[in-house]
């Protein structure tokens, strides 16, 4: 790589995000289940930079941990990718001050080529747009390029002020506008490419004589023009570079991202029955020919196999579901479900379950920290907690594993082909042997050997004619 074509990136993520009105750093707010900043990092990576410097401050430790986690997960090998560095900006004195905080991360090598500056609050930005921006910057042999867009409502964006010839003169921040500048619709997207050696020279000379008393990075544009440097603009669509400053903008951006995810799924062969009521997190995978029914949520690190029907009214969180399974009106959390399994309607698979192929988990069942073996059936109103269930087990309506003694949890084991009659209480720890039967209504307190029948209930007493006799007593006023 020639030194001229080097790219470094600075991402500004130190601000609090006052307008979010939150204790959480703005860049950690999620969009489709993923922190905003992660999208920005992805977009930046598309330029194959040598260095990505993230400026952190407000909740810096959390921001750093979150970025490092993504870095490790997305790119497990370190070969051929950017060096990732963090720069602390202890006090947030403005965007130029933030850029200066990153200077110590730049070696003399990094000072060759160009630096891309991004704000951490532009999650809809794509790598494609940045590639186009970089090409244009190089074609124009610009010293400084900035992205601009025509804002429907320029509101708090910095305005691009041009001279009579149409060339950029400077950026004026919303608070510092003079009346005649207020109508300018062309605004600053906050995305810049600057020759690296010029960047710190310019940013270091910015002052804070403005309405907010901050060191504005936007001032480097006017300074570059005054020095006779080549300054170019690159127009883009508002939707692509919208800055998220409050929760209204967050909701709008999330809606846009969600539509993008659902469109991609639909084009990959998934039926998305009602895009307005289906929510799929970034990174969730769904196999071909699966159907997502209305009011369905696929969250976290979920993977759905091909040919499944998920929903209506279903939440799948951090779970895997095999091929050809159906889950309706149910909640599945942090569990693994095999192929050709039916869950629901109205069941809750709580964390740490493994539900093997061909299992039926029927109406109103709750399962927690349990393994259910192949082809077993758990119909109707059951609670199975901390249990290990073999293959071909039949669990009758109302079966409850009594797993908690008030202090400790205990396991229930049901071996292959065991048959549990309705309304049985299995008081753990307890083992039901292979092929054993438990009579309906039993409260089982000790192990049942294989192929035996356990009955643990009062023998029925029938008092013939009891009602007639009682009636006579009542009639005689006794």
Chain residues binding ligand UD1 by CB under 6 A are: 12-15, 27, 55, 89, 92-95, 97-98, 119-121, 156-158, 171, 173, 187-190, 216-218, 243, 245
Q: With contacts defined by CB under 5 A, how many residues of the chain interact with Ca ion?
A: 3
Q: Tokens representing 138?
A: 């190089």
| Residue number with CB closer to Ca ion (57 or 243) | 243
Q: Tokens representing 354?
A: 């493994």
For this structure, is 380 an active site residue? yes
Residue 89 interacting partner from Ca ion, ligand UD1, none (CB closer than 5 to 8 Å by kind): ligand UD1
17 binds Ca ion (CB under 5 A): no
Among 27, 31, 75, which Cα is nearest to 299's?
31
The Cα 97–Cα 205 span in angstroms is 10
| Residue number with CB closer to ligand UD1 (18 or 471) | 18
CB of 124 to ligand UD1, least distance (A): 12
The packing angle between helices 127-139 and 36-45, to 10°, is 40
| Residue number with CB closer to ligand UD1 (27 or 52) | 27
Judge whether 271 and 290 are in contact, CB under 8 Å: yes
One of 197, 340, 380, 410 is an active-site residue; which one? 380
CB of 86 to ligand UD1, least distance (A): 12
CB of 243 to Ca ion, least distance (A): 3
DSSP state of 124: T
Residue 375 interacting partner from Ca ion, ligand UD1, none (CB closer than 5 to 8 Å by kind): none
287 binds Ca ion (CB under 5 A): no
243 binds Ca ion (CB under 5 A): yes
| Residue number with CB closer to ligand UD1 (94 or 344) | 94
CB of 157 to Ca ion, least distance (A): 8
The packing angle between helices 36-45 and 60-74, to 10°, is 50
121 binds Ca ion (CB under 5 A): yes
CB of 237 to ligand UD1, least distance (A): 14
| Residue number with CB closer to ligand UD1 (120 or 311) | 120
In the block, residue with structure tokens 């309304």: 423
Q: Where are the beta strands (DSSP E) in 364-478?
A: 365-368, 371-372, 377-378, 382-385, 387-389, 394-395, 400-402, 412-414, 419-420, 425-427, 430-432, 437-438, 443-444, 453-454
The Cα 28–Cα 403 span in angstroms is 39
Tell me the β-bridge partners of 188: 148
> By the criterion CB under 5 A, which residues form the site for Ca ion?
121, 243, 245
List, by residue number, the catalytic residues. 380
């Amino acid at each position: 790589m020639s030194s001229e074509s080097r790219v470094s990136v600075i991402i500004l993520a130190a601000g609090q995000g006052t307008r979010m009105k939150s204790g959480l750093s703005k860049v950690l707010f999620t969009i489709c289940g993923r922190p905003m900043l992660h999208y920005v990092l992805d977009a930046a990576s598309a330029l194959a930079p040598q260095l990505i410097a993230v400026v952190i401050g407000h909740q810096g430790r959390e921001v750093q941990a979150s970025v490092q986690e993504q870095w490790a997960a997305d790119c497990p090998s370190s070969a051929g990718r950017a060096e990732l560095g963090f720069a602390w900006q202890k006090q947030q004195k403005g965007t130029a001050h933030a850029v200066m905080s990153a200077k110590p991360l730049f070696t003399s090598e990094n000072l060759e080529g160009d630096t891309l500056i991004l704000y951490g609050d532009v999650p809809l930005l794509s790598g494609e747009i940045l590639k186009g921006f970089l090409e244009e910057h190089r074609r124009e042999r610009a010293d400084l390029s900035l992205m601009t867009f025509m804002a429907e409502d320029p509101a708090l964006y910095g305005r691009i002020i041009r001279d009579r010839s149409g060339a950029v003169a400077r950026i004026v921040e919303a608070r510092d506008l003079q009346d005649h500048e207020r109508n300018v619709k062309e605004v600053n997207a906050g995305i810049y490419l600057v020759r690296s050696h010029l960047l710190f020279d310019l940013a270091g000379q910015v002052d804070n004589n403005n309405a907010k008393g901050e060191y504005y990075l936007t001032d480097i544009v006017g300074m570059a023009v005054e020095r006779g440097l080549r300054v170019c603009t690159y127009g883009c669509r508002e939707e692509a570079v919208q800055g998220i400053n409050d929760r209204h903008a967050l909701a709008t951006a999330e809606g846009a991202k969600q539509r993008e995810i659902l469109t991609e799924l639909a084009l990959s062969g998934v039926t998305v029955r009602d895009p307005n009521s289906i929510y799929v997190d970034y990174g969730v995978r769904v196999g071909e020919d699966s159907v997502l029914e209305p009011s369905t949520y696929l969250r976290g690190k979920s993977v759905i196999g091909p040919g499944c029907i998920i929903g209506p009214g279903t939440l799948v969180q951090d779970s895997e579901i095999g091929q050809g399974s159906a889950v309706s009106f149910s909640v599945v959390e942090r569990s693994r479900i095999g192929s050709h399994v039916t869950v629901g309607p109205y069941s809750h698979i709580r964390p740490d379950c493994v539900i093997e192929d061909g299992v039926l988990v029927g109406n109103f069942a709750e399962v927690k920290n349990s393994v259910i073996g192949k082809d077993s059936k758990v119909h109707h109103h059951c609670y199975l907690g901390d249990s290990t269930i073999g293959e071909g087990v039949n669990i009758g309506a109302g079966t409850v594993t009594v797993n908690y003694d008030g202090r400790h949890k205990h396991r229930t084991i049901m071996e292959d082909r065991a048959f549990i009659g309705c309304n049985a209480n299995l008081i753990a720890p307890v083992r039901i042997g292979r092929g054993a039967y438990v009579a309906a209504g039993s409260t089982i307190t000790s192990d049942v050997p294989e192929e035996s029948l356990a009955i643990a209930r009062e023998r029925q007493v029938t008092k013939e004619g009891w009602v007639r006799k009682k009636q006579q007593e009542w009639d005689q006023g006794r």
